[in-house]
């Protein structure tokens, strides 16, 4: 396994073009994306899935904007008399920074919540502080034990699966639920946008608590103690019994990431960190090194395809971007090895083990499928994201 640099890595986009691979005629997903299908016009099933979501939420239209304003008023009514009426996860990235500002502008009283997996970049930490101090929003931070978290990351690498970032995503979700419950808040605002991010295929980033428990038990050396694990029953408790709703504002309102970034830089002294979700070093390593070199997956095609579908970028420009190497922060590879306690040779040995997927381990996937109708009702009530219902409860995997 070679260290990723501009001299020895041929970008996935270049190799796909040289091999005359089939691309979706509408976005930049290729024939090797998990579970992809093309219709008679060459349009992929992922584009159609986004169309279905857009038909429901109508992001950026008058109808979508009005529905979100209705939800905002509902949040205010339900939060009357409480210190906070919603919680918002913040990472120091573009989406969450813009969203917490937007919430305050709309008259909401959010509590910002940060899950610290101990891999934050300094820029991300500074961005959080700059934005929240200027708008006067309180911050709740949960810090996991770094040795425990690193051991979980090592377990996923040893398991041979692509889902290295999943433990962070699930932990953030659990912390948001816990904090919302602690303060009697019934609404969590999430900064996801199907217009700018799309919906990631399950084969790129599967996540559930059973999966994490299984992998850690098999490959880990630390017991789960400080890591905020969300098992199946915790999940049901939050969504079905506590009925804490998850709202994604960008699924309703007009949102342009480039405009948001420019505003943040101009008004808040916020700084860019190099790429989508690269504000966290482990996420950056996963996306820019681990996925491309071990699995030949370049996750930029998610956001590039979303930008093309939404008209933010021309398809030919997106393909051109895909032919460049992913951005990798200087010294990140060495930092990763030091944190993991691996030599380059030890890491290479692990990286060259057979690749696997979540299907090779015990997960909650069949349970999610079994309770599909329940999750449909919960999704319609904004108690689980619609993307969860579409991806996780269907026997046909996206």
Among the residue ranges 258-262, 274-278, 318-322, the one predicted with the least confidence is: 274-278
What pLDDT is recorded for position 327? 84
Supply 351's token pair: 């990286």
pLDDT band at 328; cut points 50, 70, 90:
confident
What pLDDT is recorded for position 275? 58
Tens of pLDDT, residue by residue over 357-384, are 999 999 999 999 999 999 999 999 999 9
Start-end of H helices in the chain: 12-18, 45-57, 62-78, 94-105, 122-135, 146-159, 166-182, 209-219, 232-236, 257-268, 281-285, 300-309, 315-322, 332-340, 344-351, 365-370, 372-380, 386-392
Strands across the sheet containing 86-89: 139-143, 110-116, 86-89, 187-189, 245-247
What pLDDT is recorded for position 41? 98
What pLDDT is recorded for position 59? 96
What is the Cα–Cα distance from 187 to 181, expressed in whole angstroms? 10
pLDDT band at 276; cut points 50, 70, 90:
low
What pLDDT is recorded for position 313? 94
Domain limits of the chain? 12-392
pLDDT at 138 over 80: yes
Tens of pLDDT, residue by residue over 335-361, are 999 999 999 999 999 999 999 999 999
Supply 132's token pair: 């929240």
| CATH (residue range 12-392) | 3.40.50.620
Q: What is the mean pLDDT of the chain?
A: 94
User: DSSP 3-state assignment of 299?
Assistant: coil
User: DSSP 3-state assignment of 133?
Assistant: helix
- Give the Å distances, CA to CA, from 76 to 67, 80, 132, 187, 260: 14, 6, 20, 10, 25
Supply 125's token pair: 């930490």
What pLDDT is recorded for position 234? 98
What is the Cα–Cα distance from 97 to 126, expressed in whole angstroms? 12
pLDDT at 176 over 60: yes
Find all residues with CB under 8 Å of 126, minimum gap 6, and list them: 92, 271
What is the Cα–Cα distance from 283 to 291, expressed in whole angstroms? 10
Cβ-contact 6, 23 below 8 angstroms: no
Average pLDDT of the residues in 227-232: 98
Average pLDDT of the residues in 216-245: 98
Average pLDDT of the residues in 67-90: 98
pLDDT at 1 over 60: no
What pLDDT is recorded for position 2? 45
pTM (2 d.p.): 0.94
């Amino acid at each position: 396994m070679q260290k990723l640099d501009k001299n020895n890595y041929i970008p996935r986009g270049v190799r796909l073009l040289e091999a005359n691979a089939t691309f979706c005629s509408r976005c930049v997903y290729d024939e090797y994306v998990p579970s992809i299908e093309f219709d008679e016009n060459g349009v992929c099933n992922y584009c159609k899935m986004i169309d279905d979501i857009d038909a429901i939420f109508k992001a950026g239209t008058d109808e979508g904007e009005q529905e979100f304003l209705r939800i905002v008023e509902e949040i205010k009514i339900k939060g009357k008399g409480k210190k906070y009426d919603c919680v918002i996860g913040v990472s120091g990235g573009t989406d969450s920074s813009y969203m917490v500002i937007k919430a305050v502008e709309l008259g909401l009283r959010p509590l910002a919540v940060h899950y610290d997996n101990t891999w934050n970049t300094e820029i991300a930490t500074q961005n959080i502080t700059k934005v929240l101090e200027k708008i006067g929003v309180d911050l709740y931070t949960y810090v996991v034990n770094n040795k425990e978290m690193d051991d979980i990351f090592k377990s996923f690498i040893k398991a041979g699966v692509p889902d290295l970032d999943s433990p962070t995503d699930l932990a953030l979700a659990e912390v948001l639920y816990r904090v919302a419950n602690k303060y009697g808040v019934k609404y969590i605002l999430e900064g996801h946008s199907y217009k700018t991010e799309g919906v990631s295929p399950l084969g790129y980033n599967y996540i559930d608590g059973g999966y994490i428990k299984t992998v850690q038990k098999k490959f880990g050396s630390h017991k789960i103690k400080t890591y905020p694990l969300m098992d199946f029953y915790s999940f049901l408790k939050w969504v079905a019994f506590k009925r804490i709703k998850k709202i994604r504002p960008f699924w309703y309102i007009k949102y342009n990431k480039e405009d948001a970034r420019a505003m943040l830089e101009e008004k808040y002294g916020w700084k860019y960190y190099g790429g989508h979700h690269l504000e966290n070093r482990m996420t950056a390593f996963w996306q820019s090194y681990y996925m491309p070199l071990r699995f030949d997956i370049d996750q930029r095609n998610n956001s590039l395809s979303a930008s093309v579908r939404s008209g933010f970028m021309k398809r030919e420009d997106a393909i051109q971007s895909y032919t460049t190497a992913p951005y990798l922060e200087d010294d990140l590879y060495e930092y990763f090895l030091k944190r993991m306690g691996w030599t380059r040779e030890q890491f290479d040995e692990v990286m060259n083990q057979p690749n696997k997927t979540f299907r090779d381990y015990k997960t909650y996937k069949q349970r999610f499928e079994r309770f599909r109708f329940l999750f449909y009702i919960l999704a319609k009530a904004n108690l689980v994201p619609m993307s969860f219902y579409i991806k996780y409860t269907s026997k046909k995997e996206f």
